Amino acid sequence: MAQQAYMTETDSGGSDPEHRQTRIRRLFDRGTTGWRGDRRIWRRGLITAVVAVLLAGVMAGHSRIPNVVGNLGSLTETFLPWFGLLVPFLLLIAFVRKSATALIALVLPVSVWLNNFGGLLFDKTGTGGDLTVATHNVNADNADPAGTARAVAASGADVLALEELKASAVPTYEKALERKYTHHAVVGTVGLWSKYPVSDVRAVDIRLGWKRAMRTTVATPSGPVAVYVAHLPSVRVKLEAGFTARQRDKSAEALGEAISDEKLPRKILLGDLNGTTNDRALTAITSQLRSPQGAAGSGFGFSWPASFPMARIDQILVTGVEPKTSWTLPATGSDHLPIAARVKVDTTAS
């Protein structure tokens, strides 16, 4: 009887590989019903297709979006990587609508996004390097400045820049960092701590009326490096005014001029620039310096806000040195994340 039951099951195709393939083919045919032989697949989803094309246009031509009204161009560029999140949403609509036109149109935004940001999906961190730098906007209202200082110093940075230093908290930072850093300088609300000697410390005028940027020479074992620390003015997004960044933009131009006038060939800028490297308003700076995050980082390296990072507005930008790796540090008592990078000082620069 057992043998008869087994033969019956086999005859019915329950475990026959051929039968299973037939069932899978049937399911596939059932799922694609409405696609094959249906000319409406080209007419459906036209709105979705148009949105996909517009999305590609925004991501590809963001530099042409004018800043005349509410700095719309800069606002778009600040959050440009996030525009890619619209693609899965449009893809879902295309499948639900069974629209071949929409699916084909989606190739455009996917291609543009990958061209702009695809490189950030791969780990480009390397080894080597002889100088580690870090920067952190510590937040003037930080409730634990000593803990914040120790946390950032734990990164192993040879040179550490801090921004938004409250005058009353400076002694706390100095005490917390004095064992690891024998040299430091504070100018206004920004400061630099270094394991190597510093000299030629001076404020950099970024057209604010108060001191939020500085320049110093750090005597690294591989040669002198001009290190700038800056905290550009904050930007705001307001319904009635849009992206208000006029003062930030003026300060960025002034900082760019100072860096351009720098005599030393090796330059490192550390600070909170209140803008991403995609933002055209920072061109005066980014046209001269490059980001280790793009050259030797892993991921987007978003630094603000610390609770849910959406943009990399804290920057390490370099020239005359070779980026080896870049990373984001764990959260502290600030609303920003600290960032760090390791570079090889270019000993051939002169």
DSSP, residue by residue, 238-290 = ETTTEEE-HHHHHHHHHHHHHHHT--SS-EEEEEE-SS-TT-GGGHHHHTT-B
Residues 300, 85: Cα–Cα separation, whole Å: 14
Percent of the chain with pLDDT over 70: 85
Please state which architecture CATH assigns to domain 131-345.
4-Layer Sandwich (3.60)
Two tokens, residue 67: 């800043």
CA atoms within 13 A on the CB side of 46: 4
pLDDT at 33: 52
Those residues with Cβ within 8 angstroms of residue 299's Cβ, 6 or more apart along the chain or in another chain: 120, 121
pLDDT digits (tens, 9 = 90+) for 258-314: 999 999 999 999 999 999 999 999 999 999 999 999 888 889 999 999 999 999 999
Nearest CA-CA partner of 167 in 188, 147, 149, 192: 188
Residues 348, 350: Cα–Cα separation, whole Å: 6
Domain ranges of the chain: 32-121, 131-345
The stretch 111-125 carries a mean pLDDT of 92
Beta bridge partner(s), residue 272: 231, 314
Percent of the chain with pLDDT over 90: 74
Those residues with Cβ within 8 angstroms of residue 350's Cβ, 6 or more apart along the chain or in another chain: 265
Position 11 confidence tier, pLDDT thresholds 50, 70, 90: very low
Q: Which residue has the higher pLDDT, 7 or 328?
A: 328
pLDDT at 296: 85
Residues 279, 311: Cα–Cα separation, whole Å: 11
Q: Does 173 score more than 70 pLDDT?
A: yes
Two tokens, residue 245: 């960044």
Q: Does 110 score more than 70 pLDDT?
A: yes
Q: Does 21 score more than 80 pLDDT?
A: no
Q: Does 194 score more than 60 pLDDT?
A: yes
Position 3 confidence tier, pLDDT thresholds 50, 70, 90: very low
Count Cβ atoms below 10 Å from residue 189 Cβ, excluding itself: 20
pLDDT digits (tens, 9 = 90+) for 210-233: 999 999 999 999 999 999 999 999
pLDDT at 240: 47
Residues 268, 290: Cα–Cα separation, whole Å: 10
Q: What angle do CA 15, 21, 25 make, to 5 degrees?
A: 140
pLDDT at 6: 43
CA atoms within 13 A on the CB side of 138: 30
Mean residue pLDDT of the chain comes to 89
Q: Does 139 score more than 60 pLDDT?
A: yes
